Amino acid sequence: MATRKPKVIVTRKLPDAVETRMRELFDTELNVTDEPMTRKQLLEAAGRCDVLSPTITDKIDAAFLEKVGERLKLIANFGAGVDHIDVAAANAKGIIVTNTPGVLTDDTADLTLTLLMATLRRVIEGANAVQSGEFTGWAPTWMLGRRVTGKRIGIIGMGRIGAAVARRAKAFGMQIHYHNRKPASSRVAEELEATYWDSLDQMLARVDIVTVHAPATPATFHLLSARRLKLLQPHAIVINTARGSIIDEAALTELLATKAIAGAGLDVFEEEPRINPKLLRLSNAVLLPHMGSATVEARVDMGEKVIINIKTWMDGHRPPDRVLPQML
């Protein structure tokens, strides 16, 4: 007799190859319109499935989980970040939470360097000048940016992505500085010739570029506060491909507007998808629509991890990418 396939509900459109494989393995319900579910729709879905596969656009907090029935056993998140899920509340209710770590590392690191280069060299400003007809010919002092080679880059969070950024930055001739909860291994530190700062304040005052690669947790909320942002040198730039809540966006916008710092490259925002209108008007801010993992390869790999986590759970084993409260 065939084993009953678990009911899986996917909240957003995933790559075709992933959706097809999920349909083969599980009793899968897809979101063919790709419209984000309302809270009511999400709650209804969670009440009639064994496995919910949400994304960052789905807020699954403690109040939501209190209303979920007993059927839901696994939240197989499509994404590495789980700040939209109350993992502790899910764990207390006996619901396993998994994510998709590791597969986004290179893509996010690549985009970080893209934002860094675009911000330092004023690439978007230059492209806009050409499109608008402002470009009338080469001039010695027009559209001057900053050289990348020789700059000191300060990396906040030396995990997989932070280390990948550091390797790329070193290849561009940058000097690597970083702040982390603890120093990187001696092997990594030696490979990167990296300088560790246990004081974030001291590092910020000394680097030319700050790039954020920490998870969004209560401890990292506004880690780059107004006070800390004011420690940056006037020529410094800020890059964020992690989570918008880690930076005080209003304070950053004010510093950019007054030219107290030189620029920012942001792929994430504090009230995403809403973006501060003042930030949108700034020529020294390079803004992208949360596309750090937006490669075909990354999104397929993410889907494959979701499938592995569900299949492992279905077979009665511990999913390889289970997230526990103490890990956050």
Q: Which domains does the chain have, with CATH numbers?
A: 7-102+295-327 (3.40.50.720), 105-287 (3.40.50.720)
Q: Which residues contact 262 (CB under 8 A, 6 or more apart)?
A: 146, 234, 235, 236, 237, 284
- Reduce the DSSP state of residue 293 to 3 states and report it: coil
Omega before 273 within 30 of 0, i.e. cis? yes
Contact at 8 Å (CB) between 97 and 82?
A: yes
* 228: annotated active-site residue: no
* 272: annotated active-site residue: yes
Q: What is the pTM of this model?
A: 0.90
Task: Give the whole-angstrom CA distance, residue 52 versus residue 158.
Answer: 31
From the candidates 29, 191, 254, 272, which is the catalytic residue?
272
Phi, psi of 271 (to 5 degrees): -120, 40
Task: Give the whole-angstrom CA distance, residue 19 versus residue 12.
Answer: 10
Closest CA to 7 of 48, 62, 36: 48
Neighbours of 162 (CB within 10 A): 26
Neighbours of 246 (CB within 10 A): 23
Residuewise pLDDT in 10s, the chain (328 residues): 346 899 999 999 999 999 999 999 999 999 999 999 999 999 999 999 999 999 999 999 999 999 999 999 999 999 999 999 999 999 999 999 999 999 999 999 999 999 999 999 999 999 999 999 999 999 999 999 999 999 999 999 999 999 999 999 999 999 999 999 999 999 999 999 999 999 999 999 999 999 999 999 999 999 999 999 999 999 999 999 999 999 999 999 999 999 999 999 999 999 999 999 999 999 999 999 999 999 999 999 999 999 999 999 999 999 999 999 876 5
From the candidates 23, 121, 206, 290, which is the catalytic residue?
290
From the candidates 177, 228, 243, 299, which is the catalytic residue?
243
Contact at 8 Å (CB) between 48 and 7?
A: yes
Q: What does the pLDDT read at residue 246? A: 98
Q: Which residue has the tokens 């998994």?
A: 98
Contact at 8 Å (CB) between 233 and 208?
A: yes
Return the amino acid letter for 2: A
Q: What does the pLDDT read at residue 4? A: 84
Closest CA to 287 of 123, 83, 107: 123
Q: What does the pLDDT read at residue 316? A: 95
Rounded to 10°, the helix 160-171/105-120 angle is 50
